[in-house]
Structure 1
Amino acid sequence: MTVSDFATYIAGLPRVIAGAAALFRDGDGRVLLVEPNYREGWALPGGTIESDEGETPRQGARRETAEEIGLDIALGRLLAVDWVPGTARPPLVAYLYDGGVLGEDQLKAIRLQEEELLSWRLVPRDDLAAHLPGALGRRVLAALDVLAEGSGTAELENGHRVG
């Protein structure tokens, strides 16, 4: 294979979107959710990984968290990796990291990125499905299960555990 053939081969490979987020909780175990202004529903602090900048998933989650809620926090372990098939967009691989438990001072220090977010709230586990439907909701619940188990990482496909 020539260099030109290889470049053509690479250019023809399917595209995948990579995203990363952080799972923050308060002392009562409630999950921090943010409300985007560019789509319906709720989300976790996070976003697209800037791979053209050489950013890793962990770096992307930390950068997005700092940008979106104003907290620059070293993230804990990887809780879940989710392959979400594409329909109207390319497939997504989503990384979810442990953001830890936020103290009262950290919660008071949250400053929303006004260009992207309307509000934030803390949501108990039992209410997450109403705020995070579909793969994202299943991903967050799987990550909470991993935290409760004390080790491991959830391998997910469209939010469902595999393996």
Structure 2
Amino acid sequence: MTTTDDYATYIASLPRVLAGAAALYRDAEGRVLLVEPNYREGWALPGGTIESDGGESPRTAARRESAEEIGIDVPLGRLLAVDWSIDAGRPPLVAYLYDGGVLTADQLASIRLQEEELLSWKLVEPAELTAHLLGGLGLRAQEACRVLESGEGTVELENGRRPSAS
């Protein structure tokens, strides 16, 4: 076997990790925009899976997914959080969460939902995020709101929580 074959075999043997990206959009009152998927329970942030075909980046995926899901296509702000999420029944997920900014009343009125995937949208207070977003997603979104409020840099998370120092 050649070195190239050995390397290909090695790469094929590595564990798989999913990657997703989303944007945290807010209104002038600080409420967070959530969308209601039709394919699972609970609410979500606009975003989705990073497409590996063509080498899509997390930032590009978050912007593309937002444009597809809610019809909002604006440059995204800084990376707020990166979350390593483990959930039974799927490979680990690395989730990137970007600042989508503050949407104007006109932008909110122009939201057009992707009918194939979404039922509705709403704005919720940051303190209510864990009541609407399942699992670590609610914690991730709350941590991102804290980052925005404090001016802190990007936060590293594990299942929505800050890991203890090792």
TM-score by length of structure 1 reads 0.97
Distance 2:72 2:48 in 1: 15
Distance 2:46 2:64 in 1: 10
User: Per-residue deviation at 1:86?
Assistant: 4.2
Runs of 4+ aligned structure 1 residues displaced above 2 Å come to none
User: Per-residue deviation at 1:2?
Assistant: 1.1
Which AA in structure 2 matches 1:50?
E
> For residue 36 of structure 1, what is the aligned residue in structure 2?
37
Count of residues in Structure 1 that have an aligned counterpart in Structure 2 = 163
> For residue 93 of structure 1, what is the aligned residue in structure 2?
94
Distance 1:155 1:129 in 2: 18
Percent identity for Structure 1 against Structure 2: 71
Distance 1:10 1:47 in 2: 25
Instruction: Extract unaligned runs of 5+ from structure 2.
Output: none
TM-score by length of structure 2 reads 0.95
Residues 92-131 of structure 1 deviation map (CA, whole Å, 9 limit, x = unaligned): 0000000000000000110000000000000012221210
Once the two structures are overlaid, the 10-residue window that deviates more, 131-140 or 25-34, is 131-140
User: Per-residue deviation at 1:148?
Assistant: 0.7
Once the two structures are overlaid, the 10-residue window that deviates more, 23-32 or 84-93, is 84-93
Instruction: Extract unaligned runs of 5+ from structure 1.
Output: none
| RMSD over equivalenced CA pairs, Å | 1.0
Q: Secondary structure at the match of 1:32?
A: strand
Q: What pairs with 1:1-163 in structure 2 (closer than 5 Å)?
A: 2-162=3-163, 163=165
Distance 2:51 2:127 in 1: 33
User: Per-residue deviation at 1:88?
Assistant: 0.5
User: Per-residue deviation at 1:133?
Assistant: 3.0
User: Per-residue deviation at 1:135?
Assistant: 0.3
The answer as to whether partners of 2:43 and 2:134 remain within 8 angstroms in 1 is no
